[in-house]
Amino acid sequence: MIKPHGSDTLMPLYIEDEALRKELEKEAEGLPYIIVNSAAASNAVMLGAGYFTPLKGFMTANDAVSVANNMRTSEGLFWPTPVLNLVQDVSVIDDAKRIALRDPNVEGNPVLAIQDIESIEELTDEQINNITEKVYRTTDPEHIGAATFMSLGKTVLSGPIQVLNYSYFSEEFKGTFKTAGEIRDEIAERGWNTVVGFQTRNPMHRAHEELCKMAKEAVNADGVLIHMLLGKLKKGDIPAPVRDAAIRKMVEVYFPPNSVMVTGYGFDMLYAGPREGVLHAVFRQNCGCTHFIIGRDHAGVGDYYGAFDAQTIFDDEVPADALEIEIFRADHTAYSKKLNKVVMMRDAPDHEKEDFVLLSGTKVRAMLAAGEDLPKEFARPEVAKILMEYYQSIN
Residues annotated as catalytic are: 201-202
Pairwise CA distance, residues 395 & 389, whole Å: 10
- Which residues lie below 8 Å from residue 294, measured CB to CB, with a gap of 6+? 277, 280, 281, 310, 311, 314, 327, 328, 329, 330
Q: What is the dihedral of CA 153, 128, 124, 33, to 10 degrees?
A: 20
Pairwise CA distance, residues 319 & 204, whole Å: 31
Find the helix packing angle between 381-393 and 361-369, rounded to 10°: 70
Pairwise CA distance, residues 211 & 202, whole Å: 15
Of 282, 195, 269, residue with least CA distance to 234: 269
Q: What is the 3-state secondary structure (H, E, C) of 180-218?
A: HHHHHHHHHHHCCCCEEEEEECCCCCHHHHHHHHHHHHH
